[in-house]
């Protein structure tokens, strides 16, 4: 268990800056998840914490101690890689004991700690196998076991489950969650998978282009995204963005509407930039069908996906913008059919207009 | 395909074996000729070359050539010299070249790419061009022995070993192999607390079986089979002479072909033994140099 503090973290490869000033505090036993589009610097950030990549500028503190210039072996962190990175010439037991062997631990200590980790991960029966005799899930378990055995201050995971198939990924996800509870350890976890991020994280860090876009609990970010990027990044299908005109502003509310949307009052959260334009975000799940003529929006169905528990409908609005609605029941929609739609303005989000909408969709 | 009859398949198999046998024979002929001839008196040996008898142990067969060869040259000594020089060079070469390659591939230091390029560039320099400068160089080098400092390395084992330990090809083989090792393995070991030397010893070397075999085989064959010019100019005394230079004993005014064949047969024994020992590694290493494993 440990606290972690990144201060104005920067990293350049040659002339290209890929981490552009990240500030972050991670508390004892917290499970922090980094998400963001490919190439935004998640792995680089993790590798800078582990010491595999040096820190161009800024400071890294673990438990209050500056770690910038310490090699990986002195940082007391453990890392689990997407490709497992277990040693093919060693048995599972030797793999798991590797760190202890390096540290010249006694045979007895090794035996005991490996047995303990194997028990937690339910892989006692695999200890004498070689990695080539293991499935992908079992290999990743060995890698996690190797991390546990050393009892590190911080666990670092770089997309540990993305090489596994969907079912196994779900199992392992739950196991990692359990593990976090059992070990009460500080964990930093990189993933592409929103479900992993939402279910595992105490705190999600959304990154884009080497910068932090927002930090918060999964529900904070989902229900109250601080900017367009986060709004569009979390949630599937992703949030609808309507280009709206700001008609009046009264107190905390702004009256917005456009050719397709009847005017509604939405909290503006001081995000308007006075241009008279704004972007209204509406989650597909927050939309409901209304009686004909009573909708706030009128959509023309392009096509519908029936998933059984849910029906996702792609529509076009009167102003030719795209709109997606997700109804939590099985319904039949015909292409060309018009649907009246309503949503609760309290669940909609208003953002200043920007060119970011393009990058989101 | 189902339409291909068993007979047809058998024919094809037969053709394949016939071709392979033919190829094998072509490669075997010189060897067979050498061994067979070593048992024949010179006159018969020469007259047999005009017929297939050259490959058959017929006529006046005896061990006389071997007795004569042993009388003419200290064959055992030459072979011991060659084996000693070869084994020592190969072991040191594997150690030092792999360490160098490890540093080139895994450690970050300025100038490593330039240095590697320079080392690889030496591949195109034929040994003959540097033999004389090298000779002058080694003839003046000091050596700290039992009796204090001695000057000049001529007529020693070390002069046959040390200049041959590090070579560009071996470094290159290791560099290529190390580059293909999954980077995460090294990184995982680093995070687990291993020092660079530990990573070399416990991760990289144990995974380097194929390249170790390749390097050892290429180097051994070179050291045992091809070491001629260098020992010829730096070793004048018989005590340190290797097998290839020893061949000169049989090319005096009158060439004794039977004895030459006996000598060649004898000195081939370690090579063939080594080959049999390493056969599987040998084949897989040749296969792996062409096909990325
Ligand atoms: N060794 C390197 N040299 C140069 N550029 C690098 C290096 N490593 C990463 N980068 C660049 O840094 C940026 C961030 O890379 P990083 O691997 O951290 O992204 P990521 O968020 O982990 O992406 P992904 O989700 O695809 O794994 C990328 O633009 C990448 O090209
Ligand atoms: Mg990554």
Give the start-to-end residue ranges of the domains of chain A: 4-230, 237-356
Interhelix angle B158-165/B75-106, rounded to 10 degrees, is 30
Residue A268: pLDDT band with limits 50, 70, 90: confident
Q: Is the ipTM of this complex over 0.95?
A: no
pLDDT at A279 over 80: yes
Residue A274: pLDDT band with limits 50, 70, 90: confident
With an 8 Å Cβ cutoff, are A50 and B191 in contact? yes
Residue-by-residue DSSP string for B246-273: HGGGG-SSS--HHHHHHHHHHHHHHHHH
Residues of chain B positioned with their CB less than 8 A from the CB of A98: 189, 192, 194, 202
pLDDT of residue B101: 97
Long-range CB pairs of B53-56, under 8 A, 24+ apart, other chains included: B55/B29
Residue A270: pLDDT band with limits 50, 70, 90: confident
Q: How high does pLDDT run on average in chain B?
A: 90
Long-range CB pairs of B80-84, under 8 A, 24+ apart, other chains included: B81/B157, B81/B240, B81/B241, B81/B242, B81/B243, B82/B223, B82/B224, B82/B227, B82/B242, B82/B243, B82/B244, B82/B267, B82/B270, B83/B224, B83/B270, B84/B157
Q: Is A43 in the pocket of ligand 1 (CB under 6 A)?
A: yes
Burial of A40: CB neighbours in 10 Å, binned 0-12, 13-18, 19+ = buried
Facing residue for A85 by CB, picked from B185, B195, B206: B185
pLDDT of residue A206: 96
Q: What angle do CA A337, A340, A345 make, to 5 degrees?
A: 145
With an 8 Å Cβ cutoff, are B203 and A87 in contact? yes
pLDDT at A356 over 80: no
Evaluate whether A4-230 and A237-356 have a shared fold: no
pLDDT of residue A1: 67
Give yes or no for a cis peptide into A143 (omega within 30° of 0): no
Residue A133 CB-half CA count within 13 A: 10
Q: Which atom of ligand 1 is nearest to the CA of A192?
A: 25
pLDDT of residue A350: 93
Cα-to-chain-centroid distance, residue B66: 25
pLDDT of residue B66: 96
With an 8 Å Cβ cutoff, are B187 and A146 in contact? no
Contact, B63 vs B39, CB < 8 A? yes
**CA A139 to each of CA A102, A164, A200, B79: distance values in angstroms, whole numbers, following the listed order:** 21, 10, 21, 50
Q: Is A41 in the pocket of ligand 1 (CB under 6 A)?
A: yes
The neighbour count for residue B44, using CB atoms within 10 Å, is: 17
Instruction: Identify the structural domains of chain B with CATH numbers, from first to last.
Output: 73-252 (1.10.3720.10)
Contact, A205 vs A212, CB < 8 A? yes
**Averaged pLDDT, A32-47:** 96
Q: What is the pLDDT of residues B44-57, one digit of tens each?
A: 988 988 888 888 88
Q: What is the pLDDT of residues B195-226, one digit of tens each?
A: 999 999 999 999 998 899 889 989 999 999 99
Measured between alpha carbons, how far is A267 from B105 in angstroms, rounded to an integer? 57
Select from 3.40.50.300, 2.40.30.10, 3.30.460.10, 3.40.50.720 the CATH code of A4-230: 3.40.50.300
pLDDT of residue A354: 74
**Which of A20, A36, A42, A189 most suits a substitution to test ligand 1, by most atoms within 8 Å of the C-beta?**
A42
Structure-block tokens of residue B16: 């394949």
Residues of chain B positioned with their CB less than 8 A from the CB of A143: 188
pLDDT at B150 over 50: yes
**Residue A321 phi, psi (nearest 5):** -85, 155
pLDDT of residue B293: 31
Q: Is A13 in the pocket of ligand 1 (CB under 6 A)?
A: yes
Q: Is A303 in the pocket of ligand 1 (CB under 6 A)?
A: no
Domain A237-356 adopts which CATH fold? OB fold (Dihydrolipoamide Acetyltransferase, E2P) (2.40.50)
Structure-block tokens of residue B19: 């071709």
With an 8 Å Cβ cutoff, are B194 and A102 in contact? yes
User: Containing H/E element for A182?
Assistant: helix A166-183
Interhelix angle B257-290/B6-37, rounded to 10 degrees, is 140
Distance A266 CA to ligand 2 centre (A): 38
């Amino acid at each position: 268990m440990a606290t972690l503090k990144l201060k104005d973290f920067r990293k350049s490869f040659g002339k290209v800056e890929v981490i552009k000033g990240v500030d972050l505090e991670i508390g004892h036993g917290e499970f922090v998840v980094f998400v963001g589009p490919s190439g935004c610097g998640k792995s680089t950030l993790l590798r800078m914490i582990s010491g595999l990549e040096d820190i161009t500028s800024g400071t890294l503190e673990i438990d209050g101690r500056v770690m910038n210039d310490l090699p990986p072996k002195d940082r007391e962190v453990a890392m689990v890689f997407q490709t497992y990175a277990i040693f093919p010439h060693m048995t599972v037991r030797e793999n798991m004991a590797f760190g202890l062997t390096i540290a010249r631990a006694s045979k007895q200590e090794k035996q005991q700690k490996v047995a303990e980790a194997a028990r937690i991960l339910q892989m006692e029966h695999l200890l004498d196998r070689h990695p080539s005799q293991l499935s992908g899930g079992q290999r990743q378990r060995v890698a996690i076991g190797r991390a546990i055995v050393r009892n590190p201050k911080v666990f670092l995971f770089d997309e540990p489950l993305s090489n596994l198939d969907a079912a196994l990924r779900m199992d392992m996800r739950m196991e990692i969650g359990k593990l976090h509870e059992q070990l009460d350890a500080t964990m930093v976890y990189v993933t592409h998978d929103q479900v992993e991020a939402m279910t595992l994280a105490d705190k999600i860090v959304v990154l884009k282009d080497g910068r932090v876009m927002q930090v918060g609990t999964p529900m904070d970010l989902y229900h109250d995204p601080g900017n367009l990027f986060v709004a569009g990044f979390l949630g599937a299908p992703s949030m609808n963005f309507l280009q709206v005109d700001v008609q009046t502003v009264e107190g905390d509310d702004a009256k917005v509407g456009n050719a397709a949307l009847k005017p509604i009052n939405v909290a503006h959260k001081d995000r308007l930039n006075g241009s008279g334009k704004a972007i209204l975000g509406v989650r597909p799940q927050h939309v409901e069908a209304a009686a004909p003529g009573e909708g706030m929006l009128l959509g023309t169905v392009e096509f519908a996906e029936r998933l059984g528990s849910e029906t996702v409908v792609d529509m076009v609005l009167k102003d030719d913008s795209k709109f997606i609605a997700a109804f939590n029941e099985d319904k039949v929609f015909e292409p060309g059919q018009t649907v009246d739609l309503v949503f609760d303005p309290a669940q909609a989000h208003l953002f200043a207009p920007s060119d970011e909408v393009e990058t989101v969709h | 395909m189902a339409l291909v009859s068993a007979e047809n398949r058998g024919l094809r198999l037969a053709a394949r074996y016939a071709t392979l046998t033919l190829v094998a024979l072509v490669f075997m002929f010189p060897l067979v000729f050498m061994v067979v001839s070593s048992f024949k008196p010179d006159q018969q040996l020469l007259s047999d070359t005009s017929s297939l008898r050259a490959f058959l142990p017929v006529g006046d067969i005896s061990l006389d050539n071997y007795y004569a060869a042993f009388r003419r040259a200290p064959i055992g000594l030459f072979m011991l010299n060659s084996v000693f020089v070869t084994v020592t060079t190969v072991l040191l070469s594997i150690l030092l070249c792999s360490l160098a390659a490890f540093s080139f591939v895994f450690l970050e230091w300025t100038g490593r790419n330039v240095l590697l390029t320079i080392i690889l560039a030496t591949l195109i320099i034929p040994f003959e061009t540097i033999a004389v400068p090298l000779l002058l160089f080694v003839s003046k080098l000091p050596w700290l022995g039992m009796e204090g400092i001695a000057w000049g390395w001529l007529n020693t084992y070390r002069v046959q070993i040390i200049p041959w330990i590090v070579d560009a090809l071996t470094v290159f083989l290791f560099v290529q192999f190390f580059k293909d090792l999954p980077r995460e393995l090294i990184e995982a070991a680093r995070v687990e607390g291993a020092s660079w030397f530990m990573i070399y010893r416990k991760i990289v070397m144990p995974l380097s079986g194929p390249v170790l075999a390749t390097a050892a085989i290429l180097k051994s064959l070179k050291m045992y089979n091809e070491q001629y010019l260098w020992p010829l100019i730096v070793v004048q005394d018989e005590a340190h002479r290797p097998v290839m230079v020893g061949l000169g004993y049989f090319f005096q005014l009158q060439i004794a072909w039977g004895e030459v064949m006996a000598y060649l047969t004898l000195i081939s024994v370690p090579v063939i033994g080594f080959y049999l020992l390493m056969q599987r590694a040998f084949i897989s290493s040749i296969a792996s140099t062409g096909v990325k494993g």
